[in-house]
Amino acid sequence: MAAPASAATAGSGGGAMSSDNAKGLILAVSSSAFIGASFIVKKMGLRRAADSGVRAGYGGFSYLMEPLWWIGMISMIVGEIANFAAYAFAPAILVTPLGALSIIISAALAHVILQEKLHTFGILGCVLCVVGSITIVLHAPQERDIDSVKEVWDLATEPAFLCYAAIVVAAALVLIYFVVPHHGQTNIMVYIGVCSLLGSLTVMSVRALGIALKLTFSGTNQLFYPQTWAFALIVATCVSTQINYLNKALDTFNTAVVSPIYYVMFTSLTIVASVIMFKDWDHQNPTQIVTEMCGFMTILSGTFLLHKTKDMADSPGQSLSTRRQKYASQNGFAIEVMPLKCQDSVDDETLMMTFPKVDSGYLKEEHTHRYMDSSIV
């Protein structure tokens, strides 16, 4: 049951941020920094592992012998621990959208380290993510007071959330056993879909564990409740599955594309799960709710820009894509571009060009050539 003070603060539509929300904010920002960097380090480890074994995207596990992958994994674990702690102090509607900061860090590091170029509009997308995050922080609901993990279990076993959980588990199983074998290597939404669906259940369980540990450290032991260990089992199962399919997504597709799409799906589903289970909007007025949703839509706009402009490149005149179209139309080339698939070198994008047959020229046969981006001017 929500405390009256929390309800009053949430319903007032303003006022200073509570100390618990402030702690959750700091922990969430720290988490984003570690997780954003972990994407890049893990990707570097996956690339090295692919040179000496079967790629993770094809079911290989050689990355487990790669130190860089483990450094990235440790960074992600630290970030997730900070994220875990944040959920103990602040509601998911505040903590989860701040994951947008990890997108910014990931995209910037991918641009510098992995040479996965970030377009000017991608930078604008990062700015929009920051603006949306600030909007949500300023209007987030207060954390509800919970005195026992049994209260969280009661919320999780209400019919509405049980129905949501059943739909999520069924959808994840369908993706894993029927969709992944046929479309996992070609459709980026498949791997990320599995991670995002299970991720929403992970967050709810992590929040329950965080509350249990916070109460335990404050003197009210929650570890003897079986509900605490049930939530821990759910976390372990969902997280291990998420890591497996996130590795497949990172190994198969471009990092700067995986990160924003994963963020959008994961955050959307988490907010839905939190609203159903913890009833975060019950003590907020319509203005606050609409403002929070506007902030979230601003973040979605930013991630959309990052996604759509990932394979564009800045130039003094025409963009590269415009020059390709013009060059193709003038010379009769057929150009096929695969922007989402991870190439051996992101700078050396493979363009398959078929030369037309001409009567008076020197081109008599069809040839296939590889061109670097810089060769098309």
pLDDT tens column, 267-306: 889 989 998 998 888 878 889 889 989 998 998 888 778 7
Residue 248 is assigned to a structural domain of this protein: yes
The whole domain housing 176 covers: 143-283
Look at residue 159 and tell me whether its pLDDT is greater than 90: yes
Give the range among 167-171, 295-299, 373-377 with minimum mean pLDDT. Answer: 373-377
In three-state secondary structure terms, 299 is: helix
Residue length of the chain: 377
Q: Residue 121 domain-assigned?
A: no
Number of domains in the chain: 1
Would you state the pLDDT for residue 171?
Answer: 97
Position 36 scores a pLDDT of 87
Cβ partners under 8 Å of residue 97, min gap 6: 132, 133, 136, 267, 271, 295, 296, 299
For 20-56, write each residue's pLDDT tens digit: 888 889 999 999 899 888 988 888 888 887 777 666 6
166 located within any domain = yes
- 334 or 300: which leads in pLDDT: 300
Q: Is residue 230 part of a domain?
A: yes
Report the distance separating Cα 25 and Cα 94, nearest Å. Answer: 8
Q: How far apart are CA 76 and CA 242, in angstroms?
A: 13
pLDDT band (50, 70, 90) for residue 359: very low
Neighbours of 312 (CB within 10 A): 18
Amino acid, single-letter form, for residue 100: A
Asked whether residue 159 is domain-assigned, the answer is yes
pLDDT tens per residue, range 175-226: 999 999 999 999 989 999 999 999 999 999 999 999 999 899 988 999 999 9
Q: Where are the extended beta strands (E) located within the chain?
A: 334-336, 352-354, 368-369
Name the percent of the chain lying above pLDDT 90: 30
The conformational region for residue 142 under phi > 0 = left, psi -120 to 50 = alpha, else beta, is beta
Look at 98 and 320; give whichever has higher pLDDT: 98
Give domain status of residue 256, yes or no. Answer: yes
Is 18 inside a domain boundary?
Answer: no
8 Å CB contact between 238 and 209: no
In a domain, 208, yes or no: yes
